[in-house]
Amino acid sequence: MPRIVGIDIPNDKVTWVALQYVHGIGKKSALDLCRKLDLDPQRRARDLTDEDLGRLAGLIESSLVVEGNLRRQTQQNIARLKEIACYRGMRHRRGLPVRGQRTKTNARTRKGPRKTVAGKKSVKELR
């Protein structure tokens, strides 16, 4: 498996798809990287030479924020929002959707599994 910026990219995928396994590189960035280095985006990752991998890693390091640095930057941004106690920061702190989604229904990804609250007793149970 070729290794780029600390990530093993899959052998069997074409180059532009394999590059997307690096956090912070999407379709457009992967195709742009291939174009800048004159690599064939349709060539399999296993066919890349060590020289190609070195040039690719160098270009990624110099021009993009990827992997650990990007994750750290994202966490710092969220921590800053929480610290200044803005609306988005409070939503992060409470584990609720941040970008205006409804929460009466849905939002299960952010809120987690349902927590059943004991409801009112029915009319039949009161008799």
What the chain holds in terms of domains, given with CATH numbers, is 3-63 (1.10.8.50), 70-126 (4.10.910.10)
Residue 4: φ, ψ to 5°: -125, 130
Using 50, 70 and 90 to split pLDDT, how confident is the model at 127? Answer: low
Is the pLDDT confidence value at 74 over 70?
yes
Distance CA 96, CA 110 (A): 6
Single pTM value for the model: 0.78
Contact 56, 64 (CB under 8 A): no
Question: pLDDT digits over 15-69, tens only?
Answer: 999 999 999 999 999 999 999 999 999 999 999 999 999 999 999 999 999 999 9
pLDDT of res. 120: 73
Scanning 2-122, the segments in alpha helix (DSSP H) are 15-18, 27-36, 50-63, 67-84, 87-94, 108-111
- Of the candidates 15, 14, 13, 12, the one whose C-alpha atom is nearest the C-alpha of residue 53 is 15
Distance CA 65, CA 42 (A): 24
Using 50, 70 and 90 to split pLDDT, how confident is the model at 121? Answer: confident
